[in-house]
Amino acid sequence: MVAKIKKKLHESKTARWIVLTLSSFAMATNYYFYDALAPLADLIRMNLGFTSTEYGFFISAYSIPNVFLAMAVLGGIILDKIGIRITGFSFIFLMALGGTITAYGASDIFLDGGFGYQFMDSFMTSWSPALKMMSLGFFVFGLGAETGIVVLSKVIVKWFTGKELALALGLNLAVGRLGAALAFTMSPRLIYPEWTTAIWVGVVILWAGLLAFMIYMVMDYKVDREVDIDIKDPEDEFKWKDLKFLVTNRSVIYITILCVTFYSAVFPFLKFAPDLLMNKFAMPRALAGDVTSYLMYGTILLTPLFGWITDNKGKSATLMYLGSGLLIIAHLMFAKTYIEPRIPIVLLGIAFSLVPAAMWPAVTKIVRQSKLGTAYGFMFSVQNIGLWIFPIVIGAVIDSSNPFYRTEVDSMAFARVQQADMRYTGSYMDRHEDPVTDREIHINTSVFKDSISGDVVWREVHHQQTDDQGQFELHVGQGDVISMADFNYLVEGPDYQAEILVARRSEDILLYDGDFSVDAEGYFPSQVDTRHDALFGRTLRGMLTLYDADASSGDMAQDGRDGMVWQERVRFYLEDDGRFEILMGYGRLVYADADYFGLREGSFEMEVIKPLDYTNAMLVFSLLGFVGFVFAFLLKREDKTSGYGLEKPNKDS
């Protein structure tokens, strides 16, 4: 009888790919949260009162640990000293904690005076408590995220050395970028019922990433009991004594400046890109996020291709030169043209695939193996200086370029709007106070109770065309998109009737058609008759519609919106006896009639936000691309005299 030999865990191919799946998922959660806030830039400005400069400062808080705490160095030292499991758990926990603090800083609980509000309001009073709390959260997230990336890369090295290492590292990066792409796609669609929902979803995903790493920790512990795997490489460590060589080597300086300018022209751009598309091209939020995501999807497909080219055909210096040129062209298109924005986004995706695929392998030809760890650490640290500075710079440029984009309408002026049948006339001016004429624009309009700092009662988006004087007219309450209406301000008095239509695969079922009322907590409680007993005990999704019984026949299928007051998509549980409760105003708003929110009679103030001009901001990005282009040219010329062989294939023939 032949005894069965149990294969050790570290030798199991299945175990290896489970580890890859867990570590890649944790990496994706990092990338997801980092980019989840970009499609919400305008909502952050509107709801929290951030200027573009303050938004840029908040985004740049992520890079502060790498600029001032040298986490590119310290994280690696900590990893070597205390190992993958403790380091990984600690820093991925900081990611999740930082994300939670960020979301808390934007929440109503904090803004209503919750824990930490008074402290945050006690210093640097020119900055809002929300800005300080959210920046603290993004700082903590960045503190964990960058070292977390190092740890997760080491996990792959530990389990795949001598196996499918290059493939595993490539897949790990691809899944991370997929997380970023999904952030641009999903975040705009998760702003209901509250805009902060999109941030909290990112927080939940971060904690799920921590859970995935904890599962990995169990596997890693078992492997360490089986065999001692040494993944330390003395030649890959940061050495301060090697800095003198790096800062005196022209090629290293050239490629480092290319690195910092290139990444500063891409990553900060992504933080503003959805807002740019919404403002300049009048794109809906979801579409703006989708178009921005094309850049990330493109890199997932193209980076391996360009990596293969540099390995087998060479031309690294030429590809860096070409990628920098494409970067300039793409940003100039955004700055000076109204060309279909997908074109420059695709060009940026190509550039973002070309330059990194050529640049990082090129470092290995310029710097000896014994100094590679120092070189990468040096470049990474300088790169993060750019990622810290330029979001603030871009935000300041946007603010200085748009002094007239926001108009406050006080209660007296709003009374005149009410007298004019809810019509408001405004003007769209550039920073020189010249009218912006004959331009299709999106205008965000918010109506506040009592004051601009009060509760938002109504929010809508108008698609308008400025005339030859830069003038436009809004019909308040008749926006093309009603993005928010506070159900608590629905006026009492009319006899409201309700319908609940539940969508099923075979047919739509009219589940409820009858009287409507809400209790003190805002719940609509009622009962469904027994003819729908097949649905009892289920969680249902449906459309809840309210209408004024005196203004409609009640036959909504025939009368359309005749008499309709409110419509939202809801999710609720139908009890075993047919009872249900629906919290009103917390579904996804489909329609609201402004006349039933008292906008014609009450005392309100209004804020009209016109599109931001991104021309100068995009010129700054173009300038960064130009500087990178110059140093890519100098690097290519230096290669000819120094003989590094940047144009030669990376693989030996």
> Does 256 share its domain with 228?
no
- Tell whether the model's pLDDT for residue 369 goes beyond 80: no
> Does 72 share its domain with 196?
yes
pLDDT confidence of residue 652: 58
User: Where is the domain boundary, 201, 232, 263?
Assistant: 232
Q: Are 607 and 446 in contact (CB under 8 A)?
A: yes
Q: How far apart are the first and last CA of the chain?
A: 50
pLDDT in tens, 290-302: 999 999 998 888 8
> Does 156 share its domain with 298?
no
pLDDT confidence of residue 555: 46
> Does 100 share its domain with 198?
yes
pLDDT in tens, 131-147: 999 999 999 999 999 88
pLDDT in tens, 435-494: 989 988 889 999 998 777 778 899 999 998 999 999 999 999 999 888 889 998 998 878
- Tell whether the model's pLDDT for residue 47 goes beyond 50: yes
Asked if residue 451 is part of any domain, the answer here is: no
pLDDT in tens, 73-125: 677 677 767 778 888 899 999 999 999 999 999 998 999 899 999 999 999 88
Residue 341's pLDDT band (cuts 50, 70, 90):
very high
Q: How much is the pTM?
A: 0.84
Percent of residues, the chain, with pLDDT higher than 90: 53
- The identity of residue 31, as a single letter, is Y
Q: How far is CA 579 from the centre of its chain?
A: 40
Asked if residue 443 is part of any domain, the answer here is: no
> Does 256 share its domain with 180?
no
> Does 132 share its domain with 180?
yes
Give the ranges where 314-457 is alpha helix by DSSP (H). Answer: 316-336, 342-366, 372-401, 411-419
d(CA 458, CA 448): 7
> Does 317 share its domain with 359?
yes
Say which range, 185-189, 535-539, 552-556, 619-623, has the weakest mean pLDDT. 552-556
User: Where is the domain boundary, 186, 203, 232?
Assistant: 232
Asked if residue 177 is part of any domain, the answer here is: yes
- Tell whether the model's pLDDT for residue 562 goes beyond 90: no
**Domain of residue 386, CATH code:** 1.20.1250.20
> Does 223 share its domain with 253?
no
* Mean pLDDT (whole number) for 432-436: 89
* Mean pLDDT (whole number) for 568-578: 93
DSSP secondary structure string, 575-623?
Answer: -TTSEEEEETT-SEEEEE-GGGGTTTTS-EEEEEEPPPP-HHHHHHHHH
DSSP secondary structure string, 434-459?
Answer: -B--S-EEEEEEEEEESSTTS-EEEE
Range of the domain at 212: 11-232
**Cα 138-29-308 angle, rounded to 5 deg:** 115
> Does 266 share its domain with 190?
no
Q: 311 versus 176: which is more confidently predicted?
A: 176
- Tell whether the model's pLDDT for residue 1 goes beyond 60: no
* Mean pLDDT (whole number) for 420-437: 91
Tell me which DSSP letter residue 648 carries. Answer: S
How many domains are contained in the chain? 2
